[in-house]
Amino acid sequence: MFGLGGADTIHGSNALVIATPDNDDILAGGSGNDTLYGRAGLDRLFGGNDNDRLDGGNGDDLLYGGTGNDTYVYWRDDGSDIINEAGSDSSLDTLEIWEDRFYGEARFDAFNDLQYERSGNDLVINLDIQEDWWPDDFNSGRVTIINQGTASSQVERLRLYDDDSRLIGGEIDLASVWSAAGTSLSTLDFTYNTQTQLYVAAA
């Protein structure tokens, strides 16, 4: 389903839902495994029940996962997105951060391209990437996970992908990131846990 123009509200179940470009849209997935894509604009995406994939596109977007094992997609330079995960303790939710959709200037290829910060009960993830054409580090976007400090509202996994769609390193345990993060933006050190097969942030 596609938006036809203007600021649309679109509902679907077991659907691929794509918003109108350059408008502020509301996309609601309902039941079933949905894929919601906001494109440009300040969009609000509601996954609803089951296992959904939410990609806000460009602009500052609000992503609501609902129940099920949801995947939140963020691309470098997408703006400042906010994730509100309202699943249960038993759900397994994932944040994917990808290299830029259109440009190849950045070198997003390492765990230390990200900085983390606790802000109240929220986790802020800041992209701090060296640009080839810019002499200093360039802030390339931000993701805030609301209530990451609450077990039932956590996003459990983080995956990073480079511009060749290759997974960087392996999956990161976001619960350990929450435990290790401070109250100001900083990079973290990670070690690989062979039992869980996850990278864990060092406290």
Q: Is residue 46 part of a domain?
A: yes
What range defines the domain where residue 145 resides? 9-201
Q: Is residue 13 part of a domain?
A: yes
Kindly tell me if the per-residue pLDDT of 102 is higher than 70. no
Q: Is residue 182 part of a domain?
A: yes
* Res 168: pLDDT: 92
151 vs 168, residue with greater confidence: 168
Q: Is residue 1 part of a domain?
A: no
Kindly tell me if the per-residue pLDDT of 166 is higher than 60. yes
Q: Is residue 159 part of a domain?
A: yes
Q: Which range, of 15-24, 168-177, 183-192, averages the lowest pLDDT?
A: 15-24
50 vs 14, residue with greater confidence: 50
CA dist 165 → 75, 93, 100, 127 (Å): 12, 20, 11, 17
Q: How many CB atoms lie within 10 A of CB 6?
A: 9
pTM of the model: 0.86
Question: How many domains does the chain fold into?
Answer: 1
pLDDT average, residue stretch 16-34: 69
